[in-house]
Structure 1
Amino acid sequence: MIEEKYNKWVNHPNIDPALKAELLAMDEKQKVDAFYTNIEFGTAGMRGLLGAGTNRINLHTIRKANAGFAQYITANGEAAMQRGVAIGYDNRHMSYEFAMDSAKVLASYNIRSYVFESLRPTPELSFAVRTLNCFGGIMVTASHNPKEYNGYKLYDEKGCQLIPDLAKQVIDRVNAVEDELAIRVDLTPEQEKLITVIGKEIDEQYYAKVLGIQLNPEVKKTDVKIIFTPQHGTANIPVKEVFTRAGYQFVPVEEQCTPDPDFSNTPTPNPEETASYNLALEYAKREDADIVLSCDPDADRMGVAVKHHGEYVLLTGNQSGSVLIEYILSQLKAKGKMPANPVMFNTVVTSDLGEKIAAKYGVETEKTLTGFKFIGEKVAKYELTHEKEYVFGYEESYGSLISPFVRDKDAPQACLMLAEAACFYKAQGKTLVDVLDGLYDELGTYQESQTSITLAGKEGAERIKEIIATFRNEAPKEIGGLKVIASEDYGCLKRYENGSEQALIGFTKSDVLKFYLEDGSWIAVRPSGTEPKCKFYYCVRGTSKENAKEKTEILQAAMKKAIE
């Protein structure tokens, strides 16, 4: 079967020449990895290694995805085709080519498209869908993955990534495309006119909306210095622009401001990883900066480091999210702007601390599965029903959304609001770490962390399934000396506690397991939807930072032993 697929590709008259050269150079192991399966088009779109083969991101697998999406749009009628699709892309290898080819495939189905003139952030793509009243959107990006990856995400008419019900309609059509190599994009002159290039007109509207989120625009900014890095990605221009217009003092990490697909001047473009801050911290020490802000390549995630007692402290996504919640909600309350029925959204693998902060201000928290599309879906629902009013949404994975004019994580918004918070609290003699410590003193100390194991290839995918199945079928009674008092299985939407089971309402099925411990801590396990990893999430309740750190190490060691 693998040899048959390989021979079909290598001998096909439509094969991209560069891909053919790669195929001819493959050894047997490389052939297996490239052809043992079709790259999965899931509820988050596609993400994978660039290269030749059915299990890779390349011109032909992207065309297959676009053909399925085009058929989904045409099935929704002429009006959907005329409203068209907004298309954005990041700095990665082949992103521009994939974006332009996507527009051509859509045009071959007589579907209009609006393609950004150059790289733009994922949140601006979401904004463009809404602003242009498009029927959908395409973002070509692999987010925070290494340089060897690229990906393809789809958006609905609300500017939200496709939720499972809509994604299934696209997936079914993608899977029905039998021969991705047969798809051609020979357009007529009329079809070529369906492709429109967009740029500054959308930028200006987006910048105005981002600047509109400020709660204290008059805050003193001259005492706070910011180091900013876009990690070679799409945040470079928009974050600089809003900071300049808002009057913040910032120093860009110039070596990381070029849109380099090889990420030459950073060990990793992922703000979740400590190494991504290396160069920015050198800048911070030289400039005696107060904070460091780092965005991932498609600018939906933001990481932060804070100078505290002469040292730079990296905050996790849970911690920066908690500081933002405290700042935003305290200011809404102080200014009399808190809505009557406020609601905050986070996910089932996000820390409990944020929910406690929200409750302090009378804000309800609703949890969703991992994936900001589920938060976007909730925003859209309440926009129609007016039952509740959005005040914040975030995930542990360094992504948040301040104002829902965008329906995805928005790093430029997060950068602007965190800069404002840093200035606001510095005027009170506090760092953002002081704010976080104050929350621990008031609401309890939490340490959140994440570990993962990377298992690539066919064997790796099978091993990840085994790990999840073992935890599901042989659920632990204790972890690290702490009794498991309850568990949740989002695969069957059940909660188990005291020998009884209860349905988990309001979720779609997902391969996530969560174990609650007797001391108020919890651990969650899930396979990554975008990388060959099995992820473990820890929310550990402690009597102090030291105690929480010690407990975390014990629990991580116990989970590591359980999968050996």
Structure 2
Amino acid sequence: MYNKQEDKQYLRWIQSDNLDKKLRSELETMSDEEIHDSFYTNIEFGTAGMRGLLGPGTNRINVHTIAKANVGFAKYIACQGEEAKARGVAIGYDNRHMSYEFSMISAQVLATYGIKSYVFESLRPTPELSFAVRHLNCFGGIMVTASHNPKEYNGYKLYDEKGCQLVPELAQQVIDRVNAVEDELAIDFHIDAKQEELISMIGSEIDEIYYKEVLAIQMAKDVKKDDVTIIFTPQHGTANIPVQEVYKQAGYHYIPVLEQCDPDPDFSNTKTPNPEESASYDLAIEYAKRENADIVLSCDPDADRMGVVVNQNGEFILLTGNQSGALLLDYVCMQHVKNNTMPPKPVMFNTVVTGDLGEKVADAYGVETKKTLTGFKFIGEKVAKYEINNEKQYVFGYEESYGSLIKPFVRDKDAVQACLLLAEAAAYYKAQGKTLYDVLLELYAKHGFYEESQVALSLEGSAGAQKIKDILANLRQSKVQEIAGKKVVRFEDFKECIVREKDTETPLTGFAVSDVLKYFLEDGSWIAIRPSGTEPKCKFYYCVKGDTLEDAHEKGNVLKQAMEMYTK
């Protein structure tokens, strides 16, 4: 049984004179179970930064753990020299509880190390933060956001000088310095007048340049923009102003879901801010039915992900991230061919857990596909490499989790770009008497009928974290040979860095070490399993090809049922 009087970390906090007063008040009213979960470990600062529940404790996001993270980042920057400190850091934040406060604490901690910072005057999208890093020639960036997580969460992401989230090699240098901080409560982030001069506020001057770049991605200049009706919801988040501004300047007919436009940290008027979940579209679909709208577009709170619902003869169909990504890719490639702008060595990026349809679409246009691990930082890293050597030219990049990037003046997922180009695609096809879903069906008929889906097993707390580890460990140990009566013909382990095929083991190269397993079956289907890097979930990804959509769906269900035995 847990005894808080024996918990050294809890006692260190509750007895500290430096503990934030609000956090102390919360801590004094928490149950023993809540205290245990708040202190049983340190919140992980991983290759994707930090994300977790708000509240007191070493396993929570709060002013002290945020300060600790920034000490690590500041020491990393300081080691790069005076030029890096002078170039500084751009800082953005979303609508969540404490986002602004965490942003200012970040700037203050950096200032104590003599590091310049540029803080947005109000909430901005993640992609605009990435853009600002590049535009201001900063050495790095910070985005305070928990993306699509529930209201109880917040988070902290780091960016390099290219506007890309830190890749593992660089992130590890920060992680080592964060972990070396022994007492987060001892960090003093109060600054004097001279240090305060190192903090500059930024705003509309960056907005205008970013909007101009976004508007420049349009590909069909003669499309009839006012023929398509769009329902748009920012889910109370940062997409509200930029998407509406871009639509106004481009001339699209859009209707915002007014109840979900204010930056409410409690997400009061949406069931969930996650565009991967169908419940997030309920209110927007009510709007769409009243207006007979063509599409519904929804962005997550930090506006790096976009989901789409299509009005198909009065039925409102939610597309998966695999489907919307394949549609955008096909539209981009088609317009490149039509406009004679396809580069000589075109490349498209997606991830090892993204479905196969997009790769088939790319192949049809002579576009090479490169796979990366989950996390847009890996795509951004590839973009930077090819930008330097021009060995290949970027055409498109996307993940199955509703994130895509049209033009790489941003080095992260960009829902503002996606909203603009998907509106263009909807208008373009409507002029031909087609919906986006009609075009998707055409892609299936041409490239094969794919069921590309995901099942996320939610496992909260310390017991849940251990369960996720056990699921992956048991799968490795059991060396699965057959799933649902289908032989495993290839197995990839991205943690052990091995490929097993026909009883032969070879090294798996070209990827950073990651806790991902992938099984390829004899019928062409595959299953991938990985723990989420941002939520207490174990995710199972399925890609199944069938003779029809119904056939693929049935085969997918069989695989999902077969995998349930590994989650018990």
**Which position in structure 2 is the counterpart of 1:465?**
469
Partner of 1:204: 208
Give 1:9-408 correspondences, 5 Å limit: 9-408=13-412
Could you tell me whether the CA contact under 8 Å between 1:217 and 1:246 is conserved in 2? no
1:181: how far off? 0.3
In the TM superposition, residue 4 of structure 1 has moved relative to its aligned partner by: 1.5
Please give the alpha-carbon distance, in whole angstroms, between the structure 1 residues aligned to 2:463 and 2:566: 19
Residue number in structure 2 paired with 1:548? 552
Unaligned 5+ runs, structure 2: none
CA contact (8 A) 2:67 2:189 kept: no
Given that residues 54 and 62 in structure 2 are in contact (C-alpha distance below 8 angstroms), is that contact kept between their aligned partners in structure 1? yes
For 2:7, what is the secondary structure of its paired residue?
Answer: helix
- Over residues 166-201 of structure 1, what are the superposed CA-to-partner deviations in whole Å (9 max), with x where a residue is unaligned? 000000000000000000123121110000000000
TM-score under structure 2 length normalisation: 0.98
1:455 aligns with 2:478: no
Contact 2:530 2:540 in 1 (8 A): yes
In 1, Cα distance between equivalents of 2:508 and 2:441: 33
Query: Per-residue displacement from partner, 1:471-508 (whole Å, max 9, x unpaired)?
Result: 11113222122221111100122211111123222101
* Matched residue type, 2:254: F
Q: Determine the C-alpha separation between the residues in 2 that align with 1:140 and 1:26.
A: 26
Q: For residues 342 and 8 of structure 1, what CA distance do their matches in structure 2 show?
A: 56
* Equivalent AA in structure 2 for residue 494 of structure 1: I
Task: Tell me the amino acid that sits aligned with residue 129 of structure 2.
Answer: L
- Determine the C-alpha separation between the residues in 1 that align with 2:534 and 2:236: 21
Counterpart AA for 1:339: P
TM-score normalised per structure 1 = 0.99
The structural deviation recorded for 1:400 is 0.1
How far apart in 1 are the matches of 2:509 and 2:11?
A: 48
> In structure 2, how many angstroms separate the alpha carbons of the residues matched to 1:5 and 1:336?
63
Query: Aligned partner of 2:462: which letter?
Result: K
Deviation at 1:142, TM superposition (A): 0.1
In 2, distance between residues paired with 1:372 and 1:145? 17
* Cα shift readout 1:410-454 (whole Å, capped 9, x = no counterpart): 000000000000011111111111111111111100011110111
Task: Using the TM superposition, give the Cα deviation of residue 353 of structure 1 relative to its aligned residue in structure 2, in angstroms.
Answer: 0.7
1:222 deviates by: 2.0
Q: Distance in 2 between matches of 1:533 and 1:100?
A: 31
Question: 1:490-529 residue pairs with structure 2 within 5 A?
Answer: 490-529=494-533
Tell me, in whole angstroms, the C-alpha distance in 1 between the residues paired with 2:221 and 2:159.
Answer: 32
CA distance in structure 1 between the partners assigned to 2:383 and 2:413 by the alignment: 13
CA displacement 1:222-259 (0-9 Å, x = unmatched): 22100000000000000000001000000000000000
Which amino acid is 1:147 matched to?
Answer: K
Q: Which amino acid aligns with 2:552?
A: A
Asked if the contact 2:351–2:399 (Cα under 8 Å) also holds between the matched residues in 1, the reply is: yes
Distance across 2 between alignment mates of 1:311 and 1:17 = 52
Displacement of 1:217 after TM fit?
A: 2.6
> Does structure 1 conserve the Cα–Cα contact (< 8 Å) formed by 2:224 and 2:428?
yes
Aligned to 1:413: 417
Instruction: Quote the Cα distance in structure 2 between the aligned partners of 1:159 and 1:527.
Output: 26
Matched residue SS, 1:222: helix
How many Å separate the matches in 2 of 1:529 and 1:142?
Answer: 12
Cα offset, 1:7, TM superposition: 1.3
Quote the offset at 1:540 in angstroms: 0.9
For 1:253 and 1:296, locate their aligned partners in 2 and report how far apart those are by CA, in whole Å: 14
Task: Find the aligned partners of 1:313 and 1:475 in 2 and give their Cα distance.
Answer: 38
Once residues 133 and 111 of structure 1 are traced to their aligned partners in structure 2, the CA distance between those partners, rounded to angstroms, is 14
2:343–2:393: 8 Å Cα contact kept in structure 1? Answer: yes
Farther off after superposition, 177-186 or 227-236: 177-186
Percentage of matched positions with identical amino acids: 68
**How many angstroms apart in 2 are the aligned matches of 1:518 and 1:374?**
29
AA at the equivalent of 2:334: S
Return the letter of the residue paired with 1:310.
G
SS in 2 for 1:123: helix
Q: Which moved more, 1:223-232 or 1:485-494?
A: 485-494
Maintained 8 Å contact 1:489/1:513: yes
Secondary structure of 1:153's match? strand
SS of the residue aligned with 1:313?
strand
**Any conservation in 1 of the 2:333–2:342 contact (CA below 8 Å)?**
yes
Deviates more, 1:492-501 or 1:329-338: 492-501
Q: Which amino acid aligns with 2:278?
A: T
Q: Aligned letter for 1:135?
A: F
Asked if 1:428 corresponds to 2:428, the answer is no
Secondary structure, counterpart of 1:344 in structure 2: strand
* Aligned-partner Cα distance in 1 for 2:546–2:190: 63
For residue 488 of structure 1, give the secondary structure of its aligned residue in structure 2. strand
Count of residues paired in the alignment: 564
Superposed displacement of residue 29, structure 1? 1.0
Q: Distance in 2 between matches of 1:461 and 1:535?
A: 13
Give, in whole Å, the separation in 2 of the partners of 1:186 and 1:402. Answer: 41
Q: Please, which runs of 5 or more residues in structure 1 have no aligned partner?
A: none
Whole-angstrom distance in 2 between the partners of 1:187 and 1:452:
44
> What is the one-letter code of the residue matched to 2:232?
F
